[in-house]
Amino acid sequence: MALKMIMLKRSVEKKTEELKNLREKEKEFAKRETELEKAIAEVETEDDEKAVTEEIEKFEKEKADLEDEINKLEEEKTALEDEIAELEKKVPEPE
């Protein structure tokens, strides 16, 4: 059981690191959103509008995909933590 717990804890650490990296990407999306807001304000022609609209659609899809990935990782991490907690309950107390 100890080996399983070690492996689970390692998996939690890995998921935590992955979440940290994804949250950094999330910060980049805030910057891109600001840039797109400026681009919207600068639209002058139909071609500009089409290009900006395409970028917005691409941005929104990428952002939604990232949010889905973050949610999935958080759920996986929580499940691992719950499994660790259950295993810890089963470990006999040292005398």
Q: How far apart are CA 59 and CA 8, in angstroms?
A: 35
Q: How far apart are CA 30 and CA 62, in angstroms?
A: 12
Please write the tens of the pLDDT for every residue from 14-24.
999 999 999 99
Nearest alpha carbon to residue 81 among 9, 6, 7: 9
Q: What is the pLDDT of residue 35?
A: 94
Please write the tens of the pLDDT for every residue from 72-93.
999 999 999 999 999 888 877 6
28 within 8 A of 63, measured Cβ to Cβ: no
